[in-house]
Amino acid sequence: MEMNKQLYQNAIAQTDTYKRFGKIHRVVGLMIESKGPEVSIGDVCLIHTPSQNGKTIKAEVVGFNNENVILMPFKEVREISPGSLVEATGTSLKVKVGMGLIGKVLDAMGSPLDNQPLPKGLKSYPTDQQPPNPMSRPTIKEPLQVGVKAIDSLLTMGKGQRVGIFAGSGVGKSTLMGMIARNSSASINVIALIGERGREVREFIENDLGEEGLRKSVVIVATSDQPALMRIKGAYTATAISEYFRDMGFQVNLMMDSVTRVAMAQREIGLAVGEPPTTKGYTPSVFAILPKLLERTGTSKFGTVTAFYTVLVDGDDMNEPIADTVRGILDGHFVLDRKLAEQNQFPAINVLRSISRVMNQVVDSRHREAADNVRSLLATYEENRELIQIGAYKKGTDSNIDASIRANPAIVQFLKQGMYEQSTYEESIKRLAGLNNGSDR
């Protein structure tokens, strides 16, 4: 008797009293409300469908309503009904990481899109991570070869820098990202395509990136037709994969196209859980997640993630709230200018409106002086462009303007770069030095 009592007491002590199951009682649009289970924000739950085969649907806890849990599914759902069971998994979303991912195209949850199984030996890694401690982050000291002349010479980037690429549609974002992926000196590219149409994704992978680029890349795709949560997760998954490689000591490029679409997906979720739209329809959580996400890249004790985030700007509105927020977080911005694209000047980087905030930290004084010089020649030409082009400027009136006119054709020629034209960092700097006297050699 005494013996049995002890057994029962042990059993009770070891029982998991944590409430693992809850029940759905309301579904509105993308939002699923359940009574229980006991969970926290960001936890993954499995919703058991009424179908016979015991199928489950993954969903994430995105909020609470009084005592109820608000969930959002990772996939579109049809098969749930009132009373469906919600099972807590007790963890947040994890993806598989490892060298075996290189060359693969994955969905937002890290599953391969070609339905081939992933290689063995990968490990699980949570997609949501804290940014490295700012005090333990090394400063950016070394230049990174991007392989695009305009950037390497006048907007030099450092390993671990984070920049925004601001552009409207059709001005050459995808082409530029493909060039960087193929030509940069980083060892691995992690490329997140968020909110694009399916056709654009294929075009990017087949034409812009190409086989050569894919060989040293991992591509994460969440197209525009996917639920908002998947589009957000695409950004987190890509960031996590780049962190994993960084912490193995690699120099990684993370390219996210576009961070605007990530913000829009977060807005969708925010509105669904009842946040108020504040700045131009964006909800407060959008401005809370952006710095957290964008601070995760950069340098760490082990390696670097150099990050490129594209930002969609309509017209030339650089003060649109997402553009403004992102520009404030990052260490530089490159503006792709529709006017240049229309003049067939590709890549259409408007050098005068762009800046790399770490350039002066990573280049030597000769490079800096040559770049400053070329910038002021370009600026003088721009200020007087109209006068010069209608022939109202008389040669000899101003020696600075004369010099800018002499140098302009060579500078414009130098800044142009064909999609498959390669240029090393050293070559670009050498040519930059020659530009000041109007030659391009």
Give Cα separations from 326 to 173, 237, 263, 349 (angstroms). Answer: 17, 19, 10, 18
Our CA angle for 199, 204, 209, nearest 5°, is 160
Among 419, 424, 434, 440, binds ligand ADP (CB under 6 A): 419
* Contact stretch for ligand ADP (CB under 6 A) within 39-47, 55-63, 164-172, 379-387: 164-172
Positions in 174-233 near ligand ADP (CB under 6 A):
174-175
Does position 310 bind Mg ion by CB under 5 A?
Answer: no
Does position 223 bind Mg ion by CB under 5 A?
Answer: no
Among 150, 171, 222, 264, binds ligand ADP (CB under 6 A): 171
Closer CB to ligand ADP, 174 or 350, in the complex = 174
Among 173, 233, 267, 431, binds ligand ADP (CB under 6 A): 173
Given Mg ion, ligand ADP, none, residue 37, with its beta carbon under 5 to 8 Å by kind, binds none
Q: Which two tokens stand for residue 322?
A: 């997402």
Given ligand ADP, Mg ion, none, residue 73, with its beta carbon under 5 to 8 Å by kind, binds none
Q: Show the 3-state SS of the chain.
A: CHHHHHHHHHHHHHCCCCCCEEEEEEEECCEEEEECCCCCCCEEEEEECCCCCCCEEEEEEEEEECCEEEEEECCCCCCCCCCCEEEEEEEECEEEECHHHCCCEEECCCCECCCCCCCCCCEEEECCCCCCCHHHCCCCCCEECCCCHHHHHHCCEECCCEEEEEECCCCCHHHHHHHHHHHCCCCEEEEEEECCCHHHHHHHHHHHHHHHHHCCEEEEEECCCCCHHHHHHHHHHHHHHHHHHHHCCCEEEEEEECHHHHHHHHHHHHHHCCCCCCECCECHHHHHHHHHHHCCCEECCCCEEEEEEEEECCCCCCCCHHHHHHHHHCCEEEEECHHHHHCCCCCCECHHHCEECCHHHHCCHHHHHHHHHHHHHHHHHHHCHHHHHCCCCCCCCCHHHHHHHHHHHHHHHHHCCCCCCCCCHHHHHHHHHHHCCCCCC
Does position 169 bind ligand ADP by CB under 6 A?
Answer: yes
Q: Which two tokens stand for residue 44?
A: 């993954």
Does position 174 bind Mg ion by CB under 5 A?
Answer: yes
Does position 380 bind Mg ion by CB under 5 A?
Answer: no
Q: Minimal distance in Å, beta carbon 417 to ligand ADP? A: 6
* Contact stretch for ligand ADP (CB under 6 A) within 66-74, 105-113, 173-181, 426-434: 173-181
Does position 147 bind ligand ADP by CB under 6 A?
Answer: no
Positions in 340-359 near ligand ADP (CB under 6 A):
346-347
Closer CB to Mg ion, 174 or 306, in the complex = 174
Closer CB to ligand ADP, 180 or 401, in the complex = 180
Given Mg ion, ligand ADP, none, residue 172, with its beta carbon under 5 to 8 Å by kind, binds ligand ADP
Q: Minimal distance in Å, beta carbon 169 to ligand ADP? A: 5
Residue nearest to Mg ion (CB): 174
Given Mg ion, ligand ADP, none, residue 346, with its beta carbon under 5 to 8 Å by kind, binds ligand ADP
* Contact stretch for ligand ADP (CB under 6 A) within 75-83, 171-179, 373-381, 422-430: 171-179
* Contact stretch for Mg ion (CB under 5 A) within 14-22, 80-88, 159-167, 169-177: 169-177
* Contact stretch for ligand ADP (CB under 6 A) within 17-25, 89-97, 276-284, 415-423: 415-423
* Contact stretch for ligand ADP (CB under 6 A) within 29-37, 100-108, 169-177, 225-233: 169-177
Does position 418 bind ligand ADP by CB under 6 A?
Answer: yes
Chain positions contacting ligand ADP, by CB under 6 A: 167, 169-175, 346-347, 417-419
